[in-house]
Amino acid sequence: MKQISKNSWAEPFKIKMVELLKMTTPAQRKKALKEAGLNTFLLKSEDVYIDLLTDSGTSAMSDQQWAGMMLGDEAYAGSSNYYHLEDVVKEVYGYKYLIPTHQGRGAEHILSQILIKKGDIIPGNMYFTTTRLHQELAGGRFEDIIIKEAHDSANEFPFKGNVDLNKLETLIKKHGAQKIPYVCIATSVNMAGGQPISIKNLKELRTLTKKYGIRIIHDMTRVAENAYFIQQLEKGYSKKSIKQIVKEICSLTDGATMSAKKDALVNIGGFMATNEWDVFEEARNMVVVYEGLHTYGGLAGRDMEAMAIGIKESVNDNHIRARVGQVIYLGEQMMKYGVPIVKPIGGHGIFVDAKKMLPHIPQHEYPAQTLAAELYLDSGVRTMERGVVSAGRKPNGENYFPKLELVRFTIPRRVYTQAHMDVIAESAARVFERRKKIKGLKMIYEPKYLRFFQARFEQL
Ligand SMILES: *Cc1c(COP(=O)(O)O)cnc(C)c1O
């Protein structure tokens, strides 16, 4: 099997400005965690040492992007930054029509309301929290069609983001193609551990969906990271640039939602894109109601300029190699200490298997939530739960109990150094050493939507 290049990488930038980090004492962390209801989302950022909560909106912008911020054309309508962004989206991704939104979920909201009717089925390669919620709020139901390997944290298949085409065809035959407005395909599947989909699988999916007249909508939040795995691991792609591969991925789909806060290297922003004029027309009507005029979608001109520049930087081969290289480095350090992680290592972070690390804590006592709290106590490193708390409840009120119960160590882009990675791995190793003494949690407050953001816990 092909392997990811083992040649050393180094950050393809030098540092021009620094932000000092705050160190805390164990007593300070204990107090802060208690006040946060043992939920790392409720910690104050000033109480965090190394922040791996998310890679969303946490990237460091380049000097070019900051210079772009000064070129913000803050007009209500027709800002020149919008036209720049439109050109870049066409050039880099190839989609015809663009609707900017304040972030990814703004795009998901508009797309779901336009395409989904009550009773529809939306198949996808594993759910994402906000994506599925918007599908459900529009009256649809999500169906998981990812290959079964994705649900097994130890399976080392390189493309665990692939779609099980048999599962999809069975769904189509059962419900009829008219009940399926689109298949939702994420690149670098977040909830599976940042696992890529292969071009081969995407091409087969294109053929199958064409046969039934069903669209493919691309959740392209981490498309550049996915392209890196294709370049390194898929036959026939080692000589292609990330830019070429990204464009090929997009060309196999009909439209997209994007959270530019991830791969596109900005702190805020997103968009919806489509190749269909009718869908664009409707989206242009809706965006005015929920986000802002169709030439700004809730963003300042300067935000759109930073996004346009960030998109171009995100498909640079040297950038993406160092980005994913850093994630792989952290994963390899953690494996050396015996910490059980999802394999293969994905593109945006390391996912620790909490069921394996804390087998004595049953899933209804939140092993991943527990582990995230323990890590913070140990070193001030902030991670997040991706397990039963994130999975939430079904529309009928029952809990989803996902197979994967993970703690995500998400690496912000261009923010931390290799020495930080060492400190993080050592902290994970210390918690691993005392894992048998760790006790589970009970939930004492549960919000109605996306509970993982605001739920509160107590130790059992
Ligand atoms: C972050 C994310 C979203 C939602 O985007 P926001 O910008 O957070 O609203 C959708 N899909 C995936 C895969 C994501 O990671």
* DSSP letter for each residue of 354-409: HHHH-TTS-GGG-HHHHHHHHHHHHHSEE-EEESHHHH-B-TTSPBP--S--EEEE
Tokens, residue 90: 């066409």
> Stretch 24-49: mean pLDDT, rounded?
97
* Dist. CA 391 → ligand 1 center (Å): 15
Mean pLDDT, the chain, whole residue set: 96
The catalytic site residues sit at 76, 128-129, 219, 262, 386, 452
| 401 backbone dihedrals φ, ψ, rounded to 5° | -115, 90
**Residue 395 scores a pLDDT above 90:** no
CB 98 within 8 A of CB 89: yes
Position 448 scores a pLDDT of: 87
- What are the tens digits of pLDDT across the range 419-450? 999 999 999 999 999 999 999 999 999 998 88
User: How close is the Cα of 221 to the center of ligand 1, in Å?
Assistant: 7
pLDDT attached to residue 6: 81
Tokens read off for 124: 């996808």
**CA dist., res. 91 & res. 246, Å (int):** 11
Q: Is the pLDDT of residue 290 over 80?
A: yes
**Interval 332-352 mean pLDDT:** 96
Residues with CB under 6 A from ligand 1: 56, 103-105, 128, 130-131, 186, 190, 219, 221, 259, 261-262, 270
User: What pLDDT is attached to residue 246?
Assistant: 98
pLDDT of 329 higher than 90? yes
pLDDT at 449: 87
> What distance in angstroms lies between residue 452's CA and the mean position of ligand 1's atoms?
15
Residue 2's pLDDT band (boundaries 50, 70, 90)?
confident
Which residue lies with its CA nearest to atom 4 of ligand 1?
A: 104
Q: Could you give the CA distance from residue 163 to residue 257 in angstroms, rounded to a whole number?
A: 19
Nearest to 384 by CA among 2, 159, 58, 154: 58
Residue identified by tokens 């703690």 is 407
Give the residue, out of 112, 146, 190, with the most ligand 1 atoms within 8 A of its beta carbon, to mutate for a pocket test: 190
Model pTM score: 0.94
Can you tell me which atom of ligand 1 is nearest the CA of 261? Answer: 7
The whole-number pLDDT of residue 193 equals 87
- Check whether 115 has a pLDDT greater than 80: yes
Nearest CA to ligand 1 atom 12: 221
**Ligand 1 atom 7 nearest Cα:** 104
All domains in the chain, ordered by first residue: 26-55+317-459 (3.90.1150.10), 63-314 (3.40.640.10)
259 CA to centre of ligand 1 in angstroms: 5
Q: pLDDT tens, 88-109?
A: 999 999 999 999 999 999 999 9
pLDDT category of residue 394 using cuts at 50, 70 and 90? confident
pLDDT at 397: 87
Model pLDDT, residue 267: 98
